[in-house]
Amino acid sequence: MALAFMEGNEAVARGAMAAGCNFFAGYPITPATTIFNNMLKMLPPKGGICVQGEDEIASMGYCIGAAMAGKKVLTATSGPGISLYSEHISFAIGSEIPMVIADVQRLGPSTGSATRGADSDIQFLRWGSTSGVPVIVLAPKDVRDCYWLTVQAFNYAERFRCPVFIASNKEIGMTKESFDLDAVQLPELMERTQFKGEAFLPFEAEPDKAPPFLPIGGKTLVRQTSSTHGPDGYITIDPNTIADCQERLRKKIHAHREEISLVEENMVPGTDTLVISYGITSRAVEDAAAALAEKGRPVSTLSLKTLWPVPEQVLIRAAERFSRIVVIEMNLGQYVNDIRRILQGKQVDFYGQMNGVLIPPVKIMEAIEND
């Protein structure tokens, strides 16, 4: 028996390397910096490129350029950096540029607290771009998740040609943990579909899919643009073309949301309460559930690893037999309203905490027992 010992940020970097990431650009920011540090050690020996942008906007710009040249790119930041990433996140979403963005969340708003954790950016990641096109956000709960979910994030980025976020947290990113690295089963790697036909149009695709890819710099000329475009990659004002493109951007993720629904559940027979959480908070929920079981008041738990798109069918199926739902978040309620929307008619109670420290199991027990 042997265990690996590393922090969540190192695990994100190792996951990226396992996924075949070969380009990183970033800008130092606590608590995400050690992802950058690790990539700077790991990429050069493997022939990859790792650079520091002059700011966060530039770091995303470098990633966009490299991704369009065919690289698998990662960048990492925290809330204040996501603010600056925003214009390029919109570009990557609208122009279907695959990349993985690790957001090691810290307490906001604004510069907030560099070394205090919180799930501050859950709504920001979903809606912090122009147009409201769906994005994919995955939330690890521990170092092991940081590793394999990053591989999963790359697969989604390649398959759907979009930015995929890892919504980590200072409390995972900068906490070292032991885990059995060898026992982790990584998903099979996916690469973006290469165009194989005759006449290449950079944004021609099936109505619910991402377009096949060709790199800038290859034999076939490629156009990429941040402006509203038709399949040919030129600006268009034709309402039908625009509508088709917008609809496809939505559908390529929305129509496949059940395939992107990653959750962990612990359904206990005979329980009437389902506790829903995500990220680091799910671990305190496990402790609270174990303590409640010992007290003779067991509950079931559901930990979401996919936050966006909302795993709607999974939530509906999981919640079906429960009369009461309790949602716990390390913020003052960023996700609970989506759960209320989906589980209409159920009693949905909420406990949230935003004070820079982890929610202790005892607070969660109180929230559950206080019905």
Residues 347-366 that bind another protein (CB under 8 A): 357-358, 360-361
Closest alpha carbon to 358 in 179, 170, 178: 170
* Distance of closest approach, residue 300 Cβ to another protein, in angstroms: 16
* Distance of closest approach, residue 55 Cβ to another protein, in angstroms: 6
Of 57 and 190, CB closest to another protein = 57
Structure tokens at 143: 């170092």
Q: By rule CB under 8 A, what count of residues binds another protein?
A: 73
Angle, helices 56-68/79-94, rounded to nearest 10 degrees: 30
Of 30 and 123, CB closest to another protein = 30
> What count of Cα atoms within 13 Å lies in the side-chain half-sphere of residue 67?
31
Task: List the x/- string, 131-170, binding to another protein by CB under 8 A.
Answer: ----------------------------------------
Burial (0-12, 13-18, 19+ Cβ within 10 Å), 109: exposed
Range 82-111, binding another protein (CB under 8 A): 87-88, 91
Select the residue interacting with another protein from 70, 98, 230, 352 (CB under 8 A): 70
Of 67 and 107, CB closest to another protein = 67
Of 314 and 358, CB closest to another protein = 358
Select the residue interacting with another protein from 15, 283, 314, 322 (CB under 8 A): 283
Of 182 and 344, CB closest to another protein = 182
Q: Convert 80-102 to b/e letters by CB count within 10 Å (16 or more is b).
A: bbbbbbbebbbbbbbbbbbbbbb
Closest alpha carbon to 245 in 208, 212, 278, 277: 208
Torsion of CA 140, 142, 147, 153, to 10 degrees: 0
* Distance of closest approach, residue 314 Cβ to another protein, in angstroms: 22
Sheet holding 99-105, edge to edge: 49-52, 23-26, 73-77, 99-105, 163-169, 136-138, 306-308
Select the residue interacting with another protein from 112, 128, 175, 244 (CB under 8 A): 175
Q: How far apart are CA 102 and CA 77, in angstroms?
A: 6
Select the residue interacting with another protein from 12, 19, 42, 315 (CB under 8 A): 42
Give Cα 106 to chain centroid, integer Å. 15
Of 221 and 316, CB closest to another protein = 221
Closest alpha carbon to 95 in 202, 219, 220: 202
* Distance of closest approach, residue 68 Cβ to another protein, in angstroms: 6
Select the residue interacting with another protein from 28, 46, 337, 355 (CB under 8 A): 46
Taking contact as CB under 8 A, which single stretch among the options 36-44, 252-260, 310-318, 345-353 is the one that binds another protein?
Answer: 36-44
Range 206-265, binding another protein (CB under 8 A): 215-227, 233-235
Select the residue interacting with another protein from 57, 201, 263, 268 (CB under 8 A): 57
Q: Convert 172-199 to b/e letters by CB count within 10 Å (16 or more is b).
A: bbbbebebebeebeeeeebebeebeeee
Of 25 and 348, CB closest to another protein = 25
* Distance of closest approach, residue 169 Cβ to another protein, in angstroms: 11
